[in-house]
Structure 1
Amino acid sequence: MVRPTSVPISAAGSAGPATAVLASGEPPVAVPRRPVPAGGLQMLGEFTGSGLRNRAFLVRRCDGQVITLTDLLVNIVDAADGSRDIPAIADRVRAVSGRTVSADNVEYLLTTKLIPLGVIAGGRGATATPRVTPLLGLAGRRTLMPAPAVGVLARVLAPLFRPTVVTGVLTAVVMLDVWLLTSSSVTAQIHHVLASPALILAVLGGTFVSMIFHECGHAAACHYGGGRPGVIGCGMYLLWPAFYTDVTDAYRLNRTARLRTDLGGVYFNAIFIVGLGIAFAVGRADALVVIVLLVHLEAFQQLVPVLRLDGYYILSDLAGVPDLFARIGPVLSAWLHHGRERCQRWTSTGGRHRRRNRGRNRNRNRIPDPRVTALTRRAQRTITAWVLVMAPLLATNLVLIIMIAPSVVTRAVTSVRAQAALAARSAGAGEPAAMIAEAADAAVLALPAVGIAFLLLRLAGAGVRAAVVAGRGGPGRAAAALLGVIIVVGVVLVSWLR
């Protein structure tokens, strides 16, 4: 349900030679006299369909993390083969790129970009391994199917993406939906399933299989486009468990193949629906109709581009920017900055005019964020529209989750106890199907409370880390960070104790 597992780390801001030095207080990075690439480094080529103004190239470390580099950094990595010292690397880069690059430029980029990103081995042969660990990312990953098995399965299922097969499946889904809605009473079938513990278990099992099949669709689409899928696994995503497919290799494919990989899961949902429809036509089992409805709901949920589900990656690949969440802050800051500029241009008299000029002078000293300026105009518009819709929605939902957390946990504990008592009674009465169904109900009822507790722990950890980073900026920022923490904790406690 969540993919991919690795978001490219960007080396933004390194588009040209740099002569700056490390900020005071930063530990120096040891640069070997003859730099060599990190062990197992794989050059994936240019990131096609990119929403960046300059060309971007992808490399993959031995741990699977993908790094986005500019053409200058790629030229340095190519030249750093262990046989050249830093001046020779600079000569090689000048000859290949035609750009003025000095040995100091190369050493600076090695020190500030390539070695910290783990692309070039450090002075003692050690390799840094920074990874993207987003707050809204998948946590607690566990492998369900290893990469070799996924590769075999993807190779077998890849022919399902041939155009004639896709056309037939989509046509069959439309015909099946029309037939089910006109030939059966969906409401009566749902009530029949809910009244039978055995049918509830059948529906849960069918839904579980559809989720696994969904992930197989991502893997098969990646293989069909020429990529190499990784493992299929599960983890905790915000409030609920989720499955994922490692299709990080899709980043090296063209935009069409990446979009096919994004849509592969929903397409396999359609194939699963067609299979359920055929089974219903033969057996007339009401549970199959309920599973069809749930699979439709799953596909719709996946296409909503708010969280890191399929719709998010579809929008990401359409925009050509693989890390949308990392650009929320810079985009909002740039949008507010432009809004202030427009307001200042509208003022035209007296002191307002003087304030406008002072504002312009301040704005001239403002350094644009490269995470925004590096984007094309089309990508900036797309991401800005997404941020303006998504950021308030996400913030509102997080606030609501925090406020209702105590009541959700209390109700979940009460409901789980009641279901556990029913399961024990069914076990004593010799009704194994009812016992298993009620135990499954208890587990489902416990998931929201467990998910909320998990999310609150992650939010608390992120808040503490942000406060610590802000506190390092000086006494004023430390006091502001401490005051902010006190206010947030106080507001949360007041909302919980009401």
Structure 2
Amino acid sequence: MTASEEHSGFRTLDVQVPHPWDGFPQEAAVNGMPESFTHSMHTKAAGAFMPWSAAPVPRLSHGLQTLGEYQGSGFTERKYIVRRGDGQVIQLSRLLYVVVSSIDGVRDAEAISHRVSGRYGAEVTTENVVHLVERKLTPLGITVPFGDLPEEPSAPRSDLLLALRGHKVIFHEAQVARIAAALSWLHRPLVVALTLAGTAAMDIWLFGVHGAITPVLQVLEQPLWMLILFALTVASLVFHEFGHASACRYSGGVPGKIGCGIFLIWPSMYTDVTDVYRIGKTGRLRTGLGGVYFNIIFMLALTAGYLLTGQSFFLAAVYLTHFEVLEQLVPAVRLDGYYILGDLAGVPDLYGKVKPILLSMLPGRRRAAAGAADLKRSARIIVTVWVLTMVPLLLAEAAYALWNLPRLLATALRSLSAQCLGTYSAFTAGQWAAGLVGVIGTLMLLCPMAGGAYLAGRLAARLYRAAMRATEGKPAKRLVLAAAVAAGCAILGTAWVQGLAPKPLPESAPVTPVLQPGVPTTRAPHPTPTGSPAGHPAGTTPEKRVTRRNSTSSPRTVPSHSAAAPPAPSATAPAPHSGTPAASTAEAGPTPSTPAGSTPTTPSPRPSESRTTSASPSPPPSESVTASPSPSATAPSGPSPS
């Protein structure tokens, strides 16, 4: 799962969208007054033509809010923002904002023109007001057609490819306001300084003294601890969101609701902090960093929990939360790092500037790159560096995923099948903790598969529509483009069929049997003579071994050596197991490692050298492969992939 802040979307006459601060609206940047005005107007009032002598009365759409000037903007001209009732945020020029702020549902167009002229500092006629309302504001859903009653706007919303989907509210505005007010003191400078100092001391102790990997490996051996770790991860995400909300409140803004949805291919949480755009850049940066700051506070609380109880799952949660913080700060997609960079540049939608920036670099296309010309020099440098870094990276990642698609699908489907079978076996065996771990693992496999298919479908549809628009009225160019796409698909398909693409990962055992729950143990510990240096005290079993996790292995049956049952008589003594002394005689009796008269026992699924070897889920192919410990090892030989 991921967390982010959400800004309800910006729109610039060619739309843009919200901050997922864990979620934000879209901006429509409408540029100033047209060079000439049209002096004809129709109204829907009674479906008839309205003469200029009867000045119409403009009305705002239901729920519209004016948020004021966009503070700390990276644009050369001042920008103003409004928010529609459906949450969409729209960026306007000063003239349009003055017109909107003058509409109250009572004044007619003539009265509005006088008010706008005084506030704008230039003459604006009644015809100008009517033109702006009809041609600019109504299509954006800011005003309703003349004669209609205010209602929910039916104007188009931004439809970003990399946007949060399926919003589900968890905490409403009133609840968020109360909790954010109670937590806002954590953003005081002295508290922040003490928190950062404590974090530095915690990391030095965890990574330099105690060790961070051992607690993770210990948790992997216990299904119940893995469930607790999952619960702590979810709690960290929720606390992360209140970091954004409380920072917004501390900076003078009004935080909105907190909810969840699907971001790209993973479940994600969001906080609506759209109101932060009317406060200064410092407040926006504090709001953007508030989430990871609260993650740091959460890690300090977890460390305190470990010092009080000695339970390893607290430190395992601290270790994993470090990766959550790093993930949030990467500015590639609409997570916290993306919005922090946008706040530094003063540009709310960086992806909306990708096309203008790229066009501005082409010879002879300066005029076509007007969207980049309205940026200040400092903002343009930041955005250009981001575009030149992230666009090649995203294209390379997409190409890598496409080339490895057969490998990814085959490995994922095999892992999903093994995980489902193991989960079913765990529940039927009464191992509820292991079964719940299997359910979580199954969902974690299904989410990227379903999300990836949905994202690929939307991307293909967008590319198709863009190609149709670019080649409209140009049949020769459309034919060439179709031939190029067909050739590319043929080459890629041939590579897949001929085996030129990477093969699926080989099957192997998981890092720990907990990751393949519910499969009965099929191998007991090998007999070891008492008194041997490698032997264990009577009645004990060696610790469970940790093996590779990045692929799966099919079930296999290993002969079980029973400590209670005598071997079947035979003329030839059985061959000794590698590393185990051979029995001197073949007569019946207890094995050397079992005292005579001891009660026969069966191997337990608890941590021991007896482990499950059935199919298990494999991690993504990018994870590194660690060597499996030797059979005599009683502890993990190295760190486990996180």
User: How many angstroms apart in 2 are the aligned matches of 1:69 and 1:322?
Assistant: 13
Equivalent residues in 2 for 1:10-89, closer than 5 Å: 10=12, 11-12=28-29, 14-19=31-36, 33-86=56-109, 88-89=111-112
Partner of 1:314: 340
Taking the aligned partners of 1:295 and 1:465, their CA distance within structure 2 comes to 41
Kindly tell me: are residues 307 and 251 of structure 1, through their superposed partners in 2, closer, same or farther at Cα, counting changes over 3 Å?
Answer: same
CA displacement, residues 29-54 of structure 1 (integer Å, 9 cap, x when unaligned): 97983322223222111111000111
For 1:394, give the aligned amino acid.
Answer: L
Residues 395, 186 of structure 1: alpha-carbon distance in 2 compared, 3 angstrom cutoff: same
Counterparts of 1:35-434 in structure 2, within 5 Å, are 35-86=58-109, 88-125=111-148, 127-335=153-361, 337=362, 340=363, 367-434=367-434
Q: 1:18 to 1:169 in 2, by over 3 A?
A: same
Aligned with 1:435: secondary structure?
A: helix
Distance of 1:487 and 1:244 partners within structure 2: 42
Structure 1 residues 488, 326: CA separation in 2 closer, same or farther (over 3 Å shift)? farther
Q: Secondary structure at the match of 2:163?
A: coil
Q: In structure 1, how many angstroms separate the alpha carbons of the residues matched to 2:482 and 2:457?
A: 19
Distance 2:242 2:310 in 1: 27
Unaligned runs of 5+ in 1: 23-27, 341-361
Q: CA deviation at 1:276?
A: 0.6
Q: 2:57 touches 2:146 (CA, 8 Å); kept in 1?
A: no
In 2, the alpha carbon distance for the partners of 1:100 and 1:485 equals 54
CA change 1:407–1:144 in 2 (3 A) is: farther
- Asked if the contact 1:147/1:231 (under 8 Å) is kept, the reply is yes
What is the Cα deviation at residue 474 of structure 1? 5.1
Retained in 2: the 8 A contact 1:136–1:308?
yes
Is 1:7 the counterpart of 2:30 in the alignment?
no
Q: What CA distance in whole angstroms lies between the structure 1 residues aligned with 2:445 and 2:146?
A: 53
Q: Which residue of 1 aligns with 2:464?
A: 464
Deviation at 1:124, TM superposition (A): 4.5
| Contact 1:29 1:111 (C-alpha < 8 Å) held by counterparts | no
From the superposition, tell whether residues 492 and 254 of structure 1 become closer, same or farther in structure 2 (CA, over 3 Å): farther
Give the drift of 1:492. Answer: 5.5
Q: 1:13 to 1:441 in 2, by over 3 A?
A: closer
The alignment's C-alpha RMSD in Å is 2.7
Q: Measure how far apart 1:385 and its partner are.
A: 0.7
Q: Aligned pair count? A: 468
Cα distance change on mapping 1:405 and 1:238 into 2, 3 Å: farther
Q: Using the aligned pairs only, state the percent identity.
A: 37
Distance (Å, rounded) in 2 between the aligned partners of 1:30 and 1:167? 61
Q: Is the 8 A contact 1:215 1:244 kept in 2?
A: yes
The equivalent of 2:631 in structure 1 is none
Amino acid at match of 1:7: G
- Structure 2 portions without partners, runs of 5+: 13-27, 51-55, 499-642
- Residue of structure 1 in register with 2:533 after alignment: none
Change (3 A) 1:446 1:41: closer
Rate the CA distance shift 1:8–1:491 in 2: closer, same or farther, 3 A.
farther
Please give the secondary structure, in 2, of the residue aligned with 1:369: helix
Whole-Å Cα distance in 2 between the matches of residues 436 and 221 of structure 1? 36
Instruction: Provide the C-alpha distance between the structure 1 equivalents of 2:64 and 2:136, rounded to a whole number of angstroms.
Output: 15
Identify the residue that residue 350 of structure 1 maps to in structure 2: none
2:265 touches 2:448 (CA, 8 Å); kept in 1? yes
> Does the aligned pair in 2 maintain the 1:47–1:252 contact within 8 Å?
yes
State the AA in 1 paired with 2:11. I
- Measured after TM superposition, the shift of residue 221 of structure 1 is 1.0
Q: Deviations over 1:128-169 (max 9, x none)?
A: 433222111112222222222222221221111122211111
Which protein has the bigger helix share?
Answer: 1
Given the two structures, how large is their TM-score scaled by the length of structure 1? 0.86
Q: Which position in structure 2 is the counterpart of 1:358?
A: none
Conservation of the 8 A alpha-carbon contact between 1:19 and 1:105:
no
Alpha-carbon distance change, 437 to 488 in structure 1, aligned in 2, over 3 angstroms: same
Distance 1:111 1:159, change over 3 A: same
Q: 1:21 to 1:376 in 2, by over 3 A?
A: farther
Indicate conservation of the 8 Å contact 1:30/1:111, yes or no.
no
Using a 3 Å threshold, how does the CA distance of structure 1 residues 84 and 169 change in structure 2: closer, same or farther? Answer: same
